[in-house]
Amino acid sequence: MDENSSALDIFGGDEAIKQTIMEHANEILDTMLDFKELMFYYTSAIREIRTKLEILDTEFELKYQRNPISSIQTRLKSRFSIIEKLQRKGWEISSESIEAHLNDIAGIRVICSYVDDIYSIAEALIRQNDIELIEKKDYISQPKPNGYRSLHLIVSVPVYFAESTRRVKAEIQIRTIAMDFWASLEHQIKYKKQISNPQNIADQLKKCADIITCTDLLMQSIRQQIDDEQPEKTELDKIYEKLKKFDVPIGE
């Protein structure tokens, strides 16, 4: 940099704009640091809830020799998406506004094998003393008009830090493998541009959702039939089952 150049040149543009940026530099930095700290809280909440879900899955495996959870996916809402939603809703762009108005900054998606697993996992989670259920939306018993199905929970969970405890909100979506398959493809198709016949596409997607619903229920029925037909265990079988539990991994 030339010795006669102003340090403001690093910003480029009009001098008045540069001066404004420098005058508000501390405010901008404070906002950025507040946002970074807030995202740390939400990331920590995701870890807390994920751990709880993994413990429940292992417990089910120990008790019933099967895992109700197929996979767990997590995501932190992007800064752009946060700002866009605040602006669209007419809310102030600040850390306080984010915490007050947005429930889906921390997102956890739980993929289950069967429909009844969804409710079993949800009930076991919200029964825990430190989990507060804020809102529940059951799009399985009452699907959206387009066919979307999933169980949505808004919860708050305490996150323990070195010198404080903070309750943080998160959104949990619980669905079957088939529901997730449909939702993923529907999401991709929805954002395609220049669809010549959108209503026809919507009708076909709804038909696919109905077929998937029937498949989910049929698969659960088949599993239940198999479970019901299992012969009563002998004492030797019970001992053998207990011995097999020693091979179930309980964490590293």
Catalytic residues: 171
The CA dihedral of 232, 235, 238, 240, to the nearest 10 degrees, is -120
Q: Which two tokens stand for residue 187?
A: 């999401």
> How far, in Å, are 73, 86, 116, 185, 186 from residue 191 at the CA level?
21, 21, 31, 10, 9
Are the C-beta atoms of residues 106 and 45 closer than 8 Å to each other?
yes
DSSP per residue over 191-231, as a string? T-S--S-HHHHHHHHHHHHHHHHHHHHHHHHHHHHHHHTSP
> How far, in Å, are 41, 117, 157 from residue 163 at the CA level?
14, 37, 17
Rounded CA-CA distance 115/136 in Å is 16
Rounded CA-CA distance 60/63 in Å is 5
3 state DSSP class of 128: coil
DSSP per residue over 12-44, as a string? -S-HHHHHHHHHTHHHHHHHHHHHHHHHHHHHH
